[in-house]
Structure 1
Amino acid sequence: MKQKIMLNLVIIGIIAVWAISVLYPINEKINLGLDLKGGMDLIYEVDMDKLKELTIEKKASEMRSILKAEGLFNYDVLTSNDARGEGKDFDIEVILDEEIDPEQRAAITAALQEGALFKKTGGDLKTGLKFTFRNDTIAGMKTEAISKALEVIRNRVDLFGVTEPSIAKSGKDRIRIQLPGVEKAEDAASTIGDTAMLEFKIVRENNGYVESLSEKSKLGKIESDEKIYYGEPQLDQNGRNTGKVPAYVLKKETLLTGGSLEDARVGTDEFGKVQINFTLTDEGSRKFAVLTKNNVGRQLAIVLDDTVISAPSIQGPIISDKARITGQFSESEAKRLAIILKAGALPAPLKKVSEITVGPSLGSESIQKGVKAALIGGLLVFIYMLITYKLSGIIADIALVVNLLLLLAGMALFKATLTLPGIAGIILTIGICVDANVIIFERIKEELRAGKTTGAAIEGGFEKAFSTILDSNVTTILTALVLYMFGTGPVKGFAVTLSLGTAINLFSAVFVVRTIYNILTNGFNIKKISI
């Protein structure tokens, strides 16, 4: 028996030492949630109208490339978003000024219907072809867009340097982002929500640029394969807004996108002005070389989210995989832009549904109140158990301390986040732990009243109480698992602490308490226990 007691003591000692080592230092090992640390809680949804529009524009751009590859140059590719296509019964229309043979027509039709996003709704060899977006594919597009957005946002948040963020799908079509400890709320929101669609387009050769919107009429006729884009407001030498917004006529065809970027970092030019240095992938580098070779002497517009950042002239072919983006941005803006370019573009713009910011002072106040409540609750339980069960109450209090120690160690081990509802779960765990001990003690009392010896009463009390404690704890854990599976952030925090604390309770209330009783009755030969 003594060997068994020693073995149990060694097991308890090893577990206690392990728990302390896992927890030390506790301020670094326990992650605090948004409500305790302060930060941001954001909910976004994908702008499906814009996603559909981008899909149509992208397909139209692909069509222009396909027509060129087929040796066809006398054509128009209109979309329902074009002025000439407004209100018509199509999303994309290919207008041909020359007759095409069946093989060319089949190639064009197959290219448009690839992916099953479009269906042919009209047209012939002479008048061209009409295609309509399949609205029944929107559900699939939404699911794919949300998955892609989640991946991009996680990459951006990782690069932004937020500790223990929570990024997850919320409901059917929303994304919830919790960023504990974030102080610059505006920078964080823009880093997450900016689409960051980087495109390289060619500026029209003649009358392709004016310095101010007041001169927009000088741009002349806008062809079907062209579109007006605006630049950033011009600043004077003192950095003040001049009120002038440049306008550019760009080809709709996108020659290179941000998907070809491998890396992006903040740097400075020879004059100390902030710029973004980026590195292209091997494929992107080859495309960029061809692009610059075929357009020497023309302006190349660098477009970010439909705004022209800069439009330098191409002096000659660029075969390097390194390039730069210059513009009127500060170092912090350039850093944010480099992060989102490196992380990748969102599949479509995100619409902010809600934004909640919790200040650090409010989080600190929540911690103080939560810890105070836990200490008061724990102290009252300690006193009650001591008064009601005397020496056995002290044993129960020791088991309670072990339970709390292992609970915090488990949270640190699994990198669980402690929230205000989580503290409530810890307080509830205190009650559950004590409840198990109360059941055991009352069963021991019944055995003693039946005339059994102290050792036999303890043995019988534990045996009769165990099934009740097990059933109670298992049902509590199952309830906590349901809360974790279907609950949101704060509810999950409560479920984590409740389930961990309840599971550990089986060890502390049964194994630890019984070991202490065995030490008292067998090690010290105590014939009568205080209970």
Structure 2
Amino acid sequence: MLQISGTNRLGIIAAVLIGLALALPNLFYSRVEQHNDAIAMIESSGETPELIEQKGLWPDWLPSGLVNLGLDLRGGAHLLAEVEVEQVYADRMDAFWPELRDALREERETIGTIRRTDTNDGTLRIRISNADQMARAMEIARGFANPVVSLTGIGHNDIEVSASGDTLIVGLSDAEKLATDDRTVQQSLEIIRRRVDEVGTREPTIQRQGTNRIIIQVPGIGSAQELKDLIGTTAKLTFHPVVNRTSDPQANPGARNILASSADPQDAGIYYILEQTPTVTGEDLADAQPSVDQNGLPAVSFRFNPSGARKFGTYTTENVGALFAIKLDEEVISAATIREPITGGSGIISGNFSTQSASELSVLLRAGALPAEMNFLQERTIGPELGQDSIDAGTIACIVAFAAVLIFMALSYGLFGIFANVALIINVGLIFGLLSLIGATLTLPGIAGIVLTIGMAVDANVLVFERIREELKTAKGPSRAISLGYEKALSAIVDANITTFITAVILFALGSGPVRGFAITLGLGIITSVFTAIFVTRLLVITWFDARRPKTIEV
């Protein structure tokens, strides 16, 4: 018999109302967006009259989640970057050198004097005066080997040690290079994501492509160049002892030293000769914030983690009176004399900063340095006008599909078709409610998924209504015919939608970007379609039937 318990009816109605309430903010997109942005700004920088006014554009007691618009709908920037993973090999050897140097010096009576030679192939080459003791030197170097930490490197060491004449050669093993490449790209992904998130952009797409490439898509940003300025800077901060100063840009810095220009316009033409191996690096930073120096000028304050604070404190204690330089990428941004030990683990970087540049530098330092440089292979800016054209085209497609389905159902099934149409309208609202709830990004393929869902949504109702027609032909009463129609059509509805849902899951798992957007809307549409067909439409039919109690019905 036709019946739905009062508890189930309340549950269905509550689910529909909650879903439609979650979808409601999307009808007032710009107002709710300003409201959300104002709340975020108030939390970060405090209240202002303008922010309070923007916050009041939408009631706080209503849901404020929005469906985020993708790059093709909102406009923005697209970059395809290649990570120069080979640079990390040399950095690893530079970090390894001080420890190996100290170990070899302890064996000076056996292997003689040592001297590192320059190389461009990412290896560490050390000349030994007693070449006949090369075996002992290789044994010492191999003592620093560690197992490769990766699934593909099981049973391999991270370094390979060899010799050529009087030269000891240490380099990363092939297994370690593969593991290092993977870690470098993953680290680059995370740092790019942090940098983009710092500026408050909505729903960026940052994902790996192939072995060493990264796709970055950021909706709402002005241009590809703006995005490159944000993420393209390596922002590698290092602290170096100063060997000397010179005005000769061609000066020979000497072995294991580097020549770096000054970034301060007041020191134009001044070059610093620095020890190549830094005392402390930006990786030891725990925090960086825009600040002001003792003269009230913009600066950047920083704080080391415990390890960095210990190393920095030890060096400054042992080198009071020495000149110390802070180098950002290839330029010295600050150089000062160590007047007293700095053991507190914090300090300030002063220089020729503007308020904006100090803020930008603190963002880069907080996010961390990119482990390697990035080569941008492709860049594209999508204007908001093109995005609006896509929205308009998608809206027209939805309206046409919606109207065609509504007309077809009303003409084919009469009053029952109208019930199905009401459920279809609720279905679309529930889709947007779920998209808002999970914070999904809607793209043009996602709109295609919604259009496809509109066509598929009535399929379950068609199965039920046709089954009711068949039952009415066997001279059963209308109540029994409706009950059997829903009961016997259920298995076909579930089977058809489960197979489509599995396809959506596979598309989401194996696809990327727009394909995932299509899979999300298709999958959510299947869930809401089954819910509205089995529960909402049935509730409407039963409510009408209980009120009218017709002796006959026509489907």
Same-fold status (TM-score > 0.5): yes
How far did residue 16 of structure 1 move? 1.7
How far did residue 98 of structure 1 move? 7.4
How far did residue 259 of structure 1 move? 1.5
In 1: Cα distance, 2:451 partner to 2:103 partner: 66
Q: Deviations over 1:423-469 (max 9, x none)?
A: 11111111101122222222222322343332232233323322222
How far did residue 148 of structure 1 move? 1.9
In 2: Cα distance, 1:141 partner to 1:317 partner: 36
How far did residue 342 of structure 1 move? 1.1
Aligned partner of 1:416 in structure 2 is 440
In 2: Cα distance, 1:434 partner to 1:266 partner: 57
Asked if residue 196 in structure 1 is aligned to residue 235 in structure 2, the reply is yes
Asked if residue 210 in structure 1 is aligned to residue 210 in structure 2, the reply is no
Deviates most, 340-349 or 106-115: 106-115
From 117, 123, 126, the counterpart of 1:94: 126
Q: Is the 8 A contact 1:61 1:254 kept in 2?
A: no
Asked if residue 46 in structure 1 is aligned to residue 46 in structure 2, the reply is no
Aligned partner of 1:376 in structure 2 is 400
In 2: Cα distance, 1:112 partner to 1:60 partner: 13
From 144, 158, 161, the counterpart of 2:197: 158
Q: Deviations over 1:168-217 (max 9, x none)?
A: 3233433223322223653432332322221111121xxx222352xx3x
How far did residue 397 of structure 1 move? 0.3
Aligned partner of 1:146 in structure 2 is 185
Alignment of 1:227-246 (within 5 A): 227-232=258-263, 235=265, 245-246=269-270
Q: Is the 8 A contact 2:302 2:348 kept in 1?
A: yes
Q: Is the 8 A contact 1:279 1:323 kept in 2?
A: yes
SS in 2 for 1:310: strand
Q: Are residues 114 and 339 of structure 1, via their aligned partners in 2, closer, same or farther at CA, if it must alter by over 3 Å? A: same
Q: Are residues 8 and 2 of structure 1, via their aligned partners in 2, closer, same or farther at CA, if it must alter by over 3 Å? A: farther
Aligned partner of 2:38 in structure 1 is none
Q: Are residues 327 and 211 of structure 1, via their aligned partners in 2, closer, same or farther at CA, if it must alter by over 3 Å? A: farther
Q: What amino acid maps onto 2:235 in structure 1?
A: A
How far did residue 67 of structure 1 move? 5.1
Q: What amino acid maps onto 1:333 in structure 2?
A: S
How far did residue 3 of structure 1 move? 6.5
Q: Is the 8 A contact 2:138 2:162 kept in 1?
A: no
Q: Is the 8 A contact 1:5 1:519 kept in 2?
A: no
In 1: Cα distance, 2:80 partner to 2:365 partner: 22
How far did residue 245 of structure 1 move? 4.9
Aligned partner of 1:350 in structure 2 is 374
Q: Are residues 62 and 228 of structure 1, via their aligned partners in 2, closer, same or farther at CA, if it must alter by over 3 Å? A: farther
Alignment of 1:261-276 (within 5 A): 261-276=285-300
In 2: Cα distance, 1:65 partner to 1:337 partner: 35
How far did residue 394 of structure 1 move? 0.4
From 37, 56, 70, the counterpart of 2:93: 56
Alignment of 1:72-83 (within 5 A): 74-81=113-120
How far did residue 161 of structure 1 move? 1.8
Q: Are residues 140 and 283 of structure 1, via their aligned partners in 2, closer, same or farther at CA, if it must alter by over 3 Å? A: closer
In 1: Cα distance, 2:534 partner to 2:3 partner: 19
Q: Is the 8 A contact 1:60 1:79 kept in 2?
A: no
Q: Are residues 98 and 254 of structure 1, via their aligned partners in 2, closer, same or farther at CA, if it must alter by over 3 Å? A: farther
Deviates most, 467-476 or 24-33: 24-33
Q: What amino acid maps onto 1:164 in structure 2?
A: E
Q: Is the 8 A contact 1:63 1:77 kept in 2?
A: no
In 2: Cα distance, 1:349 partner to 1:295 partner: 33
Aligned partner of 1:14 in structure 2 is 14
Q: What TM-score do you get using the length of structure 2 for normalisation?
A: 0.83
Q: Deviations over 1:39-87 (max 9, x none)?
A: 2233323212222232233333543455567789953112422xxxx8x
Q: Is the 8 A contact 2:224 2:379 kept in 1?
A: no
Aligned partner of 1:239 in structure 2 is none
Aligned length: 507
Deviates most, 271-280 or 385-394: 271-280
Q: Is the 8 A contact 1:418 1:493 kept in 2?
A: yes
From 413, 422, 426, the counterpart of 2:450: 426
Asked if residue 394 in structure 1 is aligned to residue 438 in structure 2, the reply is no
Q: What amino acid maps onto 1:211 in structure 2?
A: S
SS in 2 for 1:40: strand
In 2: Cα distance, 1:68 partner to 1:161 partner: 51
Aligned partner of 2:143 in structure 1 is 110
What's the RMSD between the two structures over aligned residues? 2.9
Q: What amino acid maps onto 1:92 in structure 2?
A: L
In 1: Cα distance, 2:350 partner to 2:226 partner: 20
Q: Deviations over 1:300-357 (max 9, x none)?
A: 1212223322222223322232212233343322222111111212222222232232
Deviates most, 338-347 or 321-330: 321-330
In 1: Cα distance, 2:359 partner to 2:108 partner: 44
Q: Is the 8 A contact 1:425 1:494 kept in 2?
A: yes
Q: Deviations over 1:77-104 (max 9, x none)?
A: 12422xxxx8xxx922222457989988
Aligned partner of 1:4 in structure 2 is 4
Aligned partner of 2:536 in structure 1 is 512
In 2: Cα distance, 1:309 partner to 1:74 partner: 36
Q: Are residues 270 and 316 of structure 1, via their aligned partners in 2, closer, same or farther at CA, if it must alter by over 3 Å? A: closer
Q: What amino acid maps onto 2:232 in structure 1?
A: G
Q: What amino acid maps onto 1:20 in structure 2?
A: L
What stretches of structure 2 of length at least 5 have no aligned partner? 30-63, 149-156
Q: Is the 8 A contact 2:105 2:114 kept in 1?
A: no
In 2: Cα distance, 1:98 partner to 1:289 partner: 38
Q: What amino acid maps onto 1:226 in structure 2?
A: N
How far did residue 406 of structure 1 move? 1.7
Q: Is the 8 A contact 1:201 1:303 kept in 2?
A: yes
In 1: Cα distance, 2:402 partner to 2:514 partner: 23
In 1: Cα distance, 2:473 partner to 2:147 partner: 83
Q: Is the 8 A contact 2:409 2:418 kept in 1?
A: yes
Q: What amino acid maps onto 2:127 in structure 1?
A: I
Q: Is the 8 A contact 1:198 1:302 kept in 2?
A: yes
From 483, 487, 493, the counterpart of 1:469: 493
SS in 1 for 2:553: coil
Aligned partner of 2:308 in structure 1 is 284
Aligned partner of 2:36 in structure 1 is none
In 1: Cα distance, 2:305 partner to 2:194 partner: 18
SS in 2 for 1:319: coil
Deviates most, 167-176 or 70-79: 70-79
Q: Are residues 132 and 321 of structure 1, via their aligned partners in 2, closer, same or farther at CA, if it must alter by over 3 Å? A: closer
